Amino acid sequence: MSLASQDPVRAALDAAIRAPSPHNSQPWRFRVCGDRIDVVLDGDRILKVADPEGREARLACGAAILNVRLALRAAGRVPVEELMPRRDAPEHLATVRLGGWRPATTDDLALARAIGYRRSNRRAFTSREVPVWVRQALVRAAAEEGADLVVVHDAGRLAELEVLVREAERLQAEDPAFQEEVRRWTATDPSREDGVPAAVVGRGPEWPYDRRPLVAVLVSGADTRLEQVRAGQALQRVLLRATTAGVSVSFVSEPVEIPLLRAAVGRLAAVPGSPQVVLRFGYGFAAPATRRRPVSAVTRYTGGG
Ligand SMILES: Cc1cc2nc3c(=O)[nH]c(=O)nc-3n(C[C@H](O)[C@H](O)[C@H](O)COP(=O)(O)O)c2cc1C
């Protein structure tokens, strides 16, 4: 992905499609009109079993929106963002316009570059501990986008979280509809441009995965659709910040996908608000890339300027 040589709108779209999404479902569409990019939720790609309300799909779109903003910054433009601009069209999640010119900072450039090599890494991490300065940078990254990243420090709380993860895994393993959905989104055909390749999923390590896991819960202020889109931006800023620091991340979404357990995760995080994702950070070995549908397949260009 080249950021410098391209038209900024094209660079923004190339960045947007690299966002993470549950089962790599890529639940987004884009409409481009001159200098304006609309980000639209693709309701057909919401995971009906794991994510019936579309909450995780909105997180994914939020991540795509942050990528748009960062790519525009890297191109020296100021992104002007309006979230959920239309009450009558709840699937229209954001409009981002190209504002004036302002040189990109080195940090903007570093985060924008990280979009292309960020990966979800489900493998076991090494025993190397994530240093305090990185932890603080991750917490700040979430705060910059209006969310709380709550690190689960003490062993007692980690053990409680483990119980919730195991319970969620058990419930999902016993749910044939859930299993069927996982199968549907497991890409066995290598030419498929969505879904998670079977080789990437693997068996996965067992909780707590690592000797010194850094586990954190991303918490949004409320659980409105708007806050979910904002939390997706916070999520992506955290993931990219970790990537620039050489830290690997994986998602542990199971307990937040089940309402009762999600409430328990919220109590455990012990800050006001709604838990959106649980993340595990550490030092890992390179994880393979997943594919994306091309920009042309998800973008509609309409006339005007
Ligand atoms: C809201 C959300 C929830 C996710 N939950 C999980 C999860 O529970 N387990 C998992 O292994 N990956 C999870 N993922 C990661 C996706 O599978 C991953 O983003 C997708 O396959 C694309 O791969 P990439 O992140 O390496 O680009 C989640 C991603 C998002 C955005």
Beta carbon of 119 within 6 Å of any ligand 1 atom: yes
Cα four-point dihedral sign 250, 41, 176, 180: negative
Cβ of 280 less than 6 Å from ligand 1: no
Cβ–ligand 1 contact at 229 (below 6 Å): no
Confidence at residue 202, expressed as pLDDT on a 0 to 100 scale:
56
Q: Which of 73, 74, 68 is nearest to 32 (CA)?
A: 68
On the question of pLDDT at 32 being above 60, the answer is yes
- Summary count for the chain: helices (H), strands (E): 10, 11
At 182-191, the pLDDT tens digits run 999 998 898 9
Residues 19/11, Cβ–Cβ less than 8 Å: no
Let me know: does 284 contact 255? Beta carbons within 8 Å: no
The predicted-structure confidence for 235-274, as pLDDT tens digits, reads as follows: 999 999 999 999 999 999 999 999 999 999 999 999 999 9
How far does residue 252's CA lie from ligand 1's centre (Å)? 9
Q: Please tell me which residue, 10 or 198, carries the higher pLDDT value.
A: 10
Residue 187 token pair:
């890409």
SS3 label, residue 11: helix
- One domain for residues 261 and 139: yes
Is residue 185 domain-shared with residue 144, that is, in the same domain? yes
pLDDT of residue 210: 60
Q: Do 207 and 234 reside in the same domain of the chain?
A: yes
Q: Which domain covers residue 278, as residue numbers?
A: 132-282
Note the helical H segments in 196-303: 198-201, 225-244, 259-269, 295-298
The confidence score (pLDDT) of residue 305 equals 47
Neighbours of 262 (CB within 10 A): 18
pLDDT in tens, 52-111: 999 999 999 999 999 999 999 999 999 999 999 898 999 999 999 999 999 999 999 999
CB 20 within 8 A of CB 13: no
Does residue 254 share a domain with residue 143? yes
In a domain, 127, yes or no: no
Q: How far is the CA of 102 from the centre of ligand 1 (A)?
A: 33
- Structural contact between residues 203 and 186, judged by C-beta atoms closer than 8 angstroms: no
Tens of pLDDT, residues 106-131: 999 999 999 999 999 998 898 899 99
Specify the higher pLDDT residue, 37 or 210.
37
What is the chain's mean pLDDT, rounded? 94
Tell me how far apart the alpha carbons of residues 158 and 162 are, in angstroms, rounded to a whole number.
6
Helix (H, G, I), strand (E, B) or coil at 14: helix
CA angle 55, 56, 62 (to 5 degrees): 95
Does one domain contain both 206 and 148? yes
Model pLDDT, residue 5: 57
What spacing in Å lies between the alpha carbon of 303 and ligand 1's midpoint?
35
Residues 294 and 202 in one domain: no
CA 24 – ligand 1 centroid, Å: 6
- What pLDDT shows up at residue 120? 96
Q: Is residue 64 part of a domain?
A: yes
CA 118/CA 183 separation, integer angstroms: 24
d(CA 229, CA 64): 10
CATH number at residue 48: 3.40.109.10
Are 278 and 136 within one domain? yes
Asked if 180 and 272 sit in the same domain, the reply is yes
> Number of structural domains, the chain?
2
Q: Are residues 198 and 94 in the same domain?
A: no
Q: Tell whether the model's pLDDT for residue 163 goes beyond 90.
A: yes
Do 233 and 253 belong to one domain? yes
Question: Is 196 a pocket residue for ligand 1 (Cβ < 6 Å)?
Answer: yes
- Report the C-alpha gap between 83 and 64 in whole angstroms: 13
- Atom of ligand 1 minimally distant from the CA of 121: 26
In a domain, 123, yes or no: no
Condensed to tens digits (0 to 9), the pLDDT of residues 172-230 reads 999 999 999 999 999 889 899 999 998 777 555 555 556 677 999 999 999 999 999 99
Q: Are residues 173 and 270 both part of a single domain?
A: yes
The answer on 168 and 30 residing in a single domain is no
